[in-house]
Amino acid sequence: MPNMQRINRESTPPVSAPRNTLSARPRFSRENVTKALFVVPAAVFTVLFFGYPVVKNITMSLQDYTTKTFFTGEAPWVGIKNYATIFGSNLFTPALLNTALFTLGSIAGQFVIGLALATFFKRRFPLSNFLRSMLLLPWLLPLIVGSATWRSILDQDSGILNRSLEGLGVIHDPIPWLTSPAVALSAVILVNIWVGIPFNVTIIYGGLQDIPEELYEAAALDGATGWKAFRNITWPNLRPVVSVVLVLGVVYTLKVLDIILGLTNGGPANATQTLAVRSYQESFINFQFGSGAAYSNVLILISLIFAIIYLRANRRAVDE
Amino acid sequence: MHAGLLTALGILFLAVMLFPIYWMVNASLQPSGNTLTAGFFPTNPSFDGYATAVSQQGKNLVTSLLVSTGTVLLTLAIAAPASYALAQFKFRWINAALLVILIAQMIPGIVIANALYAAYNDLGLLNSIPGLILADSTHSVPFAILILRAFMIGIPPSLVEAARVDGAGLIRAFLSIVIPISRNSLITAGLFSFLFSWSDFLFALTLTTTQAVRPVTLGIYQYLGSEISNWSAVMATAVLSSLPAIVLLLIAQKYIAAGATGGAVK
């Protein structure tokens, strides 16, 4: 999910000079040992719950790691066989394609609507702050709650969406939103857009707040208002925030699992399979942990590329 | 444009965005049954769905509450001292540590779940509340560190120095000076840790295998897995699972807004 990663463009106050007046302290002084104790719990946690899983996924992906392993403790090394299996699987290409479509579709929708709403809420009007913070609600709810709710809305026969569309005469036959391979991916993207809008509004709104008002005032004197002001002032000044929000959106959308499992479970007819869903199903449905790990390593590799882009974009955002 | 018109438009946008949540509440008040023939308003509200939800999911709600509370405590215990160190101590590796935290936040949960399942199986942590607390903390520890560090970086070192001059050790000074003045950011980090853990689905799904320990998110998923026979119970459970987010957004708006905009990533 567009989990929370926030950007803050304000520069941090400089950390004041070291208070250590005794410059010739030994490296392992009591003071330094105490200081190290502050980071030990976080360091241990990071190694065990982030470092170990990444390493374990790499080794698992090179092993024949199945249910049997849990009884016998044996996981024979098989080299790149798991990768050969998943790349050769007829589900790999569709899953990769769906991941790309799901990510692109979700990000495009979230961003455009998020930008529009953020621009709207930038104007001051009664209740604007209250309404904007209430907008956060879809993002704070458990994703599986969103899935359940949308399952009821999109239900083919009795869901409110089809009933309303039929009542308005827009459609004559109910649309099988989640049960037809042709539309299921679009429906899942729609729901993910709904989930991601608050995140986009919040970050873009923050970016808009940082654009100095004087720029608009000066532009207004030159006759640039409305769309012109947006194109010449808002957009160029927002660019660094935009790159951060897009790249983060990609990293978070790549790993979405709750929404797809809750809405379609990867179906119908594998129409909503993504790399994350494949990884889950190989490991926890088929108990082929080796293949599951291979899928998640592909996912990590793609995320890593975007993470690097993110770090560069973020550095630019801070510099500017 | 007239301010009143803008407010009306804002309410309209919000109404569209929140319609699914309204619909969830509306559907939860319908008489039980396997169809969704609800009208736009619950004219004859029935609480059957809630009765079923509480009897079937009550235990799971308690499990979620225990796991989420535990996650808050563990997350703050890990993140608060680390954030202070990253904000105020002069270690050479601080930038490297921040980079690790940023990257950690991007690791897909399924990667962690794959590895933890095997490890938990050996350690006997599957189907256990401590196991879920530890796993759920991966959602919140990096975020909490970033939020808390963003605040602690602004604490004047002279405050702590004054206490040190009076003879307090570093740890005592941290507990008696830094923690109290960081109260607001600790509340923000704690609230979000709670909501992340409460919302967790992936670890509930992969790290529990029996009915014994089962967070409510998984309870909802199981309703969804089969042919849905009782929509009002599903929706009532969904409403009950939404309560923490709704209540916190209403009563602790200040802290939620701070977390939504302030968890600085530098």
Q: What is the DSSP string of B26-92?
A: HHHTSPSSS-----SS-SS---HHHHHHHHHHHHHHHHHHHHHHHHHHHHHHHHHHHHHHHHH---T
Give A143 to chain B, closest Cα distance, Å: 7
pLDDT given at position B91:
82
pLDDT given at position A157:
83
Give B257 to chain A, closest Cα distance, Å: 7
Whether the upstream peptide bond of residue B215 has omega within 30° of 0, thus cis, is no
Q: Is A287 domain-assigned?
A: yes
* Neighbouring C-beta atoms of residue B118, cutoff 10 Å: 19
Q: Which residues contact B155 (CB under 8 A, 6 or more apart)?
A: B87, B88, B178, B181, B182
Residues of A in Cβ contact (< 8 Å) with B7: 125-128, 131
Q: Is A311 domain-assigned?
A: yes
pLDDT given at position B256:
85
pLDDT given at position B79:
97
Report d(CA B258, CA B151) in Å as an integer: 11
What CATH number has the domain bearing residue A301?
1.10.3720.10
Q: Is A133 domain-assigned?
A: yes
Q: Is A30 domain-assigned?
A: no
Give A123 to chain B, closest Cα distance, Å: 9
Tokens at A56, concatenated? 């374990």
Residues 86-145 of B with CB under 8 A from A: 86-91, 97, 99-119, 121, 134-135, 137-139, 141, 143, 145
**Distance of CA A176 to CAs A154, B21, B69, B95, Å?**
8, 22, 40, 51
Q: Is A205 domain-assigned?
A: yes
Residues 271-300 of A with CB under 8 A from B: 276, 279-280, 283-284, 289, 292-293, 296, 299-300
Residues of B in Cβ contact (< 8 Å) with A289: 114, 117-118
pLDDT given at position A320:
54
AA letter at A69: T
Residues of B in Cβ contact (< 8 Å) with A251: 106
User: Which residue on chain A is closest to B21 by alpha carbon?
Assistant: A149
Question: Is A59 part of the contact surface with chain B (CB cutoff 8 Å)?
Answer: no
Q: Which residues contact A211 (CB under 8 A, 6 or more apart)?
A: A233, A234, A237, A238
CATH topology of domain B47-262: MetI-like fold (1.10.3720)
Q: What is the 3-state secondary structure (H, E, C) of B175-206?
A: HHHHHHHCHHHHHHHHHHHHHHHHHCCHHHHH
pLDDT tens by residue, chain B, 266 residues: 688 899 999 999 999 999 999 999 999 998 876 666 777 888 888 898 999 999 999 999 999 999 999 999 999 999 999 999 999 998 888 889 998 998 898 899 999 999 999 999 999 999 999 999 999 999 999 999 999 998 999 999 998 888 888 888 899 999 999 999 999 999 999 999 999 999 999 999 999 999 899 999 999 999 987 677 788 899 999 999 999 999 999 998 888 877 876 543 43
Task: Choose the mutation target among B201, B203, B206, B247 for the interface with A, i.e. most A CBs under 10 Å.
Answer: B201
DSSP three-state, residue A288: strand
pLDDT tens by residue, chain A, 320 residues: 344 444 443 344 444 444 444 445 566 788 888 888 999 999 999 999 999 999 999 999 999 998 888 888 888 899 899 999 999 999 999 999 999 999 999 999 999 999 999 999 998 889 988 999 899 999 999 999 999 999 999 988 888 899 899 989 898 889 999 989 999 999 999 999 999 999 899 999 989 998 998 988 888 888 888 888 889 889 999 988 888 889 888 988 998 999 999 999 998 999 999 999 999 999 999 999 999 999 999 999 999 898 888 778 777 666 55
The reply to whether residue A262 touches residue B18, judged by beta carbons under 8 angstroms, is no
The reply to whether residue B108 touches residue A144, judged by beta carbons under 8 angstroms, is no
Residue A207 domain boundaries? 90-319
Number of domains in chain A: 1
Give B229 to chain A, closest Cα distance, Å: 12
Report d(CA B130, CA B139) in Å as an integer: 15
Question: Is A167 part of the contact surface with chain B (CB cutoff 8 Å)?
Answer: no
Residues 98-127 of A with CB under 8 A from B: 117, 120-121, 123, 125-127
The reply to whether residue B101 touches residue A46, judged by beta carbons under 8 angstroms, is yes
Q: Which residues contact A262 (CB under 8 A, 6 or more apart)?
A: A143, A144, A146, A147, A148, A151, B201, B220, B221, B224
pLDDT given at position A74:
85
* Chain Cα centroid distance, residue A198: 12
CA angle B44, B46, B49 (to 5 degrees): 150
User: Which residue on chain A is closest to B256 by alpha carbon?
Assistant: A133
Q: Is A264 domain-assigned?
A: yes
The reply to whether residue B137 touches residue A45, judged by beta carbons under 8 angstroms, is yes
The reply to whether residue A137 touches residue B37, judged by beta carbons under 8 angstroms, is no
